[in-house]
Amino acid sequence: MANVNLKINNIPVSVPEGSTILEAARAAHVEIPTLCYLKDVNCVGSCRMCLVEATGARGLVAACVYPVSEGMEVKTNTEKCRKSRKMTLELLLSTHKKKCLSCERNHNCELQRLSAEYGADEDYFENSPRGYAIDDSNPCVVRDNDKCINCMRCVAACKKQHVGAIGPIARGFATHVGSAGGVELKDSSCVGCGQCVVACPVGALTLKSDVDPVWKALSDPSKKVVFFTAPSVRATLGEVFDMPVGTNVEGKMVAAIRRLGDCEVFNMDITADLTIMEEATELLNRIKNKGTMPMFTSCCPGWVKFVEQSFPEFIPNLSTCKSPQGMFGGLLKTYYCEKHGIDPKDLFVVSVIPCSAKKHEIKRPQLEGDVDVALTTRELGSMIKTAGIKFTELEDEAFDDPFATCSGGGTIFGATGGVMEAALRVAAKMLDGKFEVVDFPEVRGVSPIKEATYTVAGIPVRVAVASGLENAATVLNDIKSGKKQYDFVEIMACPGGCVNGGGQPTLPDSIRNSADLKGLRAKALYTSDKENKIRLSSDSPVIETLYKEYFGAPNSHKAHEVLHTSYKANPKI
């Protein structure tokens, strides 16, 4: 592809033909403000914040959609541009509910930041919020349309997820975001993935906060509080404290949680390993007994709900394994309580997760009561700040026994392809003890859909990995049509997997639009896996103990009672 030569603020730059002015500006290390644009999600030029002057154009043009041309000269910061952006901000502020001090996005709001940078007067126009009722009906997501700036990034994110729970309603000044038929979010097709929340540049969409019940439990002497943290949280929590993307803060995370109050801190990678033992066994049993194939992973609640709502004919294909969160809750309320003589009602279980859908998962009838509160990475970061803990200055501390030692396979659960790779390692060992391949690079990376075939003990195992529900729908439709045949399929609802979950830290657009967040976060997990002396879930001493002392064997009757679940078409939760 030919390159186009132009100048951005008198800086010569050469970019591929078809590039936009916004992309060319980034190549010249010039940042143009945006509100509606979001890389790989939304590019419609509607917010008018990215207006620039360009030779050959009549008036100001939207940099995010306007293509470059040979010899073009672009000015991004003229008086005309600055005045236009300031006026746009003041118009947005005229209908915006300005409760900044109590807003979750205070000091992390794109509208707030740009208003400060451009000196926008929040009272230049008379403030007239439109008076929409807050919709907090959903188990995960809260919508406040009086804070909405109609950038439609949430709508684009939901559409890209093949869910379409929200969209633009009405026209002109009355335009707002809502669900078809005016139904509440709880009655929409929302699966709780939270991609709309991380796409929102302001505080119009947030996740329900469960911080207060945790503080209360930590202050209650009658409660024994235990935390367990999901694999990907160690690779993202540092971002809340301005650490570089992809920094592994496992030791600091454990130390910080201990300083919140009297509690124990466990490693959810343990039940990721347990999931693999149960899932790999289930897969091999299905292959041997000609069960329903292909088998789908079931550790992602957003994906599970997507199947239950949109593709119920595939419910029998879902593994019956609970997610690692569900397994840990069940394990703690049974094995752990029995071993330590604790009444389950006195044990307060807190999961720390990257995923907003985990909030609705713990309310499913099949799982209710096992986990008391599911906190997102953002919520944990908020609690650490509230407690005055100097996170970056903490010395590393280890997880508490008996749930501390995990395999590298459990750690990579947080990245797309990680569940598949961890399961293949164990399944290969079960089929053929001589199979020595530990790394399966074909299922790694952030490509939307990955396929591979592995031959183990003479048996070809055809696998597929997809992340993002748009890609999940493609895989399912290919299976339905007979176009593709697989034996084992891993799906994560969020693009890139849990590292890009709806509960992960919210970063400025300037970072989201330029950095490879999914790749950098996943790299931290794969590095941890590589450095771990235990690479297979089946080799974990904790897993060996659990089966020896309690479950007997994978897929045993006891294992099915505690570690497995069921599904239902069109669930209420």
Predicted local distance difference test score (pLDDT) of residue 458: 82
| Distances 409 to 51, 422, 497 between C-alpha atoms, Å | 48, 5, 15
Residues 220 and 347 in one domain: yes
Distances (CA, A) of 305 to 207, 309, 310, 479, 572: 18, 6, 8, 19, 10
CATH number for 188: 3.30.70.20
Whether 479 and 522 map to the same domain: the answer is: yes
Look up the CATH number of the domain holding residue 17: 3.10.20.740
**534 vs 511: CA distance, rounded Å:** 34
- Are residues 192 and 316 located together in one domain of the fold? no
Q: CA-CA distance, 103 to 534, in Å (whole number)?
A: 44
Whether the upstream peptide bond of residue 12 has omega within 30° of 0, thus cis, is: no
Say what the pLDDT of residue 360 is.
93
131 shares a domain with 12: no
What does the CA dihedral 333, 338, 344, 346 come to, rounded to 10 degrees? -130
Q: Are residues 191 and 286 in the same domain?
A: no
Residue with the bigger pLDDT between 114 and 513: it is 114
Full-model pTM: 0.94
Q: What is the mean pLDDT of residues 166-183?
A: 92
510 and 392 both lie in a single domain: yes
How high is the pLDDT of residue 429? 86
Looking at residue 435, what is its pLDDT? 64
What pLDDT shows up at residue 570?
84
Give the confidence band of 434 by pLDDT, cuts at 50, 70, 90: low
What confidence tens digit (pLDDT) does each residue in 6-33 have? 999 999 999 999 999 999 999 999 999 9
Q: Give whole-number Cα distances, 444 to 289, 413, 448, 449, 539, in Å.
A: 29, 11, 11, 10, 22
pLDDT of res. 244: 96
Assign residue 385 the CATH number of its domain. 3.40.50.1780
Q: What is the largest CA-CA distance in the chain?
A: 78
Q: Count up the domains in the chain and report the number.
A: 3
Question: What confidence category does residue 543 fall into, taking pLDDT thresholds of 50, 70 and 90?
Answer: very high
Are residues 279 and 148 both part of a single domain? no
- Give the integer Cα–Cα distance in Å for 359 and 139: 7
pLDDT in tens, 28-59: 999 999 999 999 899 999 999 999 999 989 89
pLDDT band at 430 (very low <50, low <70, confident <90, very high): confident
187 with 223, same domain: the answer is no
**Predicted pLDDT of residue 130:** 85
Given this model, what pLDDT does residue 432 score? 75
Statement to judge: residues 56 and 171 lie in one domain: no
Round to whole Å and give the CA distance between 301 and 2.
45
Residue 375 shares a structural domain with residue 394: yes
pLDDT digits (tens, 9 = 90+) for 383-394: 999 999 999 999
Side-by-side strand order, sheet with 347-353 = 264-267, 224-229, 347-353, 373-376
84 within domain boundaries = no
For residue 573, pLDDT over 80 is answered with: no
Residue 83 lies in a domain: no
Domain boundary among 182, 207, 232: 207
Tell me the percentage of the chain whose pLDDT exceeds 70. Answer: 99
Q: Match 């124990």 to its residue by tokens.
A: 264
Contact indicator for 356, 231 with CB cutoff of 8 Å:
no
**Is residue 325 within 8 Å of residue 374, measured between CB atoms?**
yes
Shared-domain flag, residues 371 and 442: yes
For 360-375, how does the pLDDT look when each residue is reduced to its tens digit (9 = 90+)?
A: 999 999 899 999 999 9
What's the pLDDT tens digit per position in 185-209?
Answer: 999 999 999 999 999 999 999 999 9
Closest by CA position to 399, among listed 221, 220, 231? 231
Is the peptide bond between 402 and the residue preceding it cis, with omega within 30 degrees of 0? yes
> Is residue 321 a part of any domain in this protein?
yes
Backbone angles phi, psi at 180, to 5 degrees: -55, 135
312 with 424, same domain: the answer is yes
Q: How confident is the model over 146-170, as a mean pLDDT?
A: 95
Give the residue from 187, 207, 227 where a domain finishes: 207
**For 66-107, how does the pLDDT look when each residue is reduced to its tens digit (9 = 90+)?**
999 999 999 999 999 999 999 999 999 999 999 999 999 999
- Is 82 within a domain? no
Task: Give buried/exposed letters for 258-270 (b at 16+ CB in 10 A, else e).
Answer: bbbeebbbbbbbb
Among 42, 77, 112, the domain-final residue is 77
The pLDDT value recorded for residue 572 is 72
Within-domain flag for 139: yes
For residue 352, the enclosing domain spans 209-573
Does residue 421 belong to any structural domain of this protein?
A: yes
308, two tokens: 């239950």
Looking at the predicted structure, is the pLDDT value of residue 485 above 80?
yes
The mean pLDDT value for 330-342 works out to 97
Q: Give the mean pLDDT of the chain.
A: 95
Q: Is residue 160 part of a domain?
A: yes
Whether 449 and 491 have beta carbons less than 8 Å apart is answered as no
| Residue 60 domain-assigned (yes or no) | yes
